[in-house]
Chain A
Amino acid sequence: MEFRGFRAVGGVSLNVRRGTIHALIGPNGAGKTTLFNLLTKFLTPTAGTIFYKGEDITKVKPADVARRGLVRSFQISAVFPHFTVKENVRIALQRRLHGDSFDFWRSQRVLHALDAESLELVEAVGLLAFANVPAGQLSYGRKRALEIAATLALDPEVLLLDEPMAGMGHEDVERTAALIRRVSENRTILMVEHNLSVVAALSDRITVLTRGQILAEGDYATVSADPRVVEAYIGAGHA
């Protein structure tokens, strides 16, 4: 991927195996989010191809990528501030269960049929007490949790989580980690995360990215023992 000649991500060949939790780590500016945007088609690659379940999705539109079960979360919290917590989840359920909502002639009361399932998901991320609070009033950590709930509402096969723990307090981190582990059954998760202890505890496989290229790949033990990784993170050997 190039931005006006600046190669943000290049020569990256990333394979994510079905049913695993795959972490993507690397220093700031390594191209992790760019890679996410490429995978979910929010950016169009200047070169290369993206395969999903053996199918070339390089030219598929972002909304259709989501419809195929490849759903992402955002680094900056993406809730609908004027919707309540319950409605935030419901709008995601609405697409999956109600279908394309072009029905402008019907009352929105038909959406109450989705309330029970919304509340289940809200409860799963520990936000039941806030179900009727506008999402804009939640703390940062709770917004992140809400975003995960909305993402899960789509029952995605592949979950791309962009720094799900960023800005969370200690307790929230643990609860979210447990949640991610719980939902990882029958799903593939690719996540960008800076909290290395979370990465160590959760992921089956880790890819280290620096300057738009893969530096190392493997399980936590392999990656953490790699001197190049240590160097990239700590910045040793400036000479």
Chain B
Amino acid sequence: MSGASTTDAVTDAALARETKSDRTLHALIFVGLAMAVAIAPFLLYPVLVMKILCFALFALAFNLLLGYGGLLSFGHAAFFGMAGYVCAYAAKVWGLTPELAILCGTAVSALLGFVLGSLAIRRQGIYFAMITLALAQMIYFISLQAKFTGGEDGIQGVPRGKLFGLLDISSDLALYAVTAVIFFAGFLAIYRIIHSPFGQVLRAIRDNEPRMISLGYRVGRYKLIVFVLSATIAGLAGSTKALVFQLASLTDVHWAMSGEVVLVTLVGGMGTVFGPVAGAAVIVAMETYLAQFGASVMIMQGSVFVVCVMLFREGIVGRLARLFRVSL
């Protein structure tokens, strides 16, 4: 299977067909992952694991768009970061409860996804990527200049508050539980989207867009929907991260963050179900444990990326999937 007519970068291993046994395997991995997430805060620093979970969800959202929709967005930080600002603002200034603050951030991200997506999906390939980058840069400058974002300072000291006004989640472990629930809810939502009639159409468009048009599919609408879905979940991740760190800052809307999510997804395995989670774990752990080396982290990160792309183009999980001939 050479897959000559498909996007070159999407590898065959990542696209391997799923069978019933694969679904059972996925269920098992989900259970394993849930157990790992349950144990993790007792072995590792909870905030670190929460950071991984937020990035993993962000990358999962990005992978939905790139790996399954075939759309490379270079401006996903706009959703991640802007949702963070809105959530932080809602929690701090309006004094909303955390679940409502997260909802606000996510909703704004969805709306932003609709506006940016409507413009970007009119073009394909590199032009699509450039439009998303340009629009995201506009969001960055708005974040820098607008009053409510706090400019260079960002929004600091965001209260974690009481969930539903009842449960105090200011302790790391309590917040950890909330973050884990959000992560799995988002992950399962994406899993369902990929395995829905809509997901089937999405893959077919990725593989052969003109043919789908000739079959009467209005492909633009599918692209817009997946773009909005991806932006929404990216916003959910960004909002959660703002509560975890009690901070919303320019870092999260910066183009480097858009680049990082591409990196996380590619290292983990684009177009695989579990790749983004593995990618997030590797990249975040690397950034954290190598932080003592200062700016040279960038060099190490770059080297890892180059090695990854050279040695296993399909990413960690994509490589494993090919090795064991399963779909992950």
Contacts and interface: CB of A to CB of B under 8 A. Distances in A.
B195 interface: yes
A82 interface: yes
B214 A82 contact: no
Contacts of A103: 196-198
B214 A111 contact: no
A144 to B, nearest CB: 13
Interface stretch (B205-213, B245-253, B305-313, B316-324): B205-213
A124 interface: no
B221 A78 contact: no
Interface stretch (B1-9, B96-104, B169-177): B1-9
A94 interface: yes
Given A80-B208, A102-B221, A137-B1, A91 B196 contact: no
A98 B2 CA distance: 31
B20 to A, nearest CB: 11
Residue with the greatest number of chain A CB neighbours at <10 A, chosen from B6, B17, B213:
B213
Given A91-B204, A136-B2, A106 B210 contact: no
A174 to B, nearest CB: 26
A74 B214 contact: yes
Contacts, number: 118
Contact of A107 (B192, B212, B214, B221): B192
Contact of B225 (A71, A80, A102, A154): A102
Contacts of A96: 216
Interface residues of A, number: 42
Contact of B200 (A66, A79, A94): A94
Given A63-B213, A74-B210, A111 B17 contact: no
Given A66-B213, A91-B200, A154-B216, 14 more contacts: A62-B214, A71-B215, A74-B211, A78-B210, A81-B4, A82-B15, A82-B17, A83-B204, A87-B200, A100-B221, A102-B198, A102-B222, A104-B198, A136-B3
Contacts of B213: 42, 62-63, 66
Nearest to B16: A82
A212 B210 CA distance: 24
Contacts of B2: 136
B11 to A, nearest CB: 11
12 contacts: A42-B213, A64-B216, A78-B210, A91-B201, A91-B215, A92-B215, A100-B217, A108-B195, A108-B199, A110-B197, A134-B1, A154-B215
A101 interface: yes
Given A66-B215, A107-B192, A101 B198 contact: yes
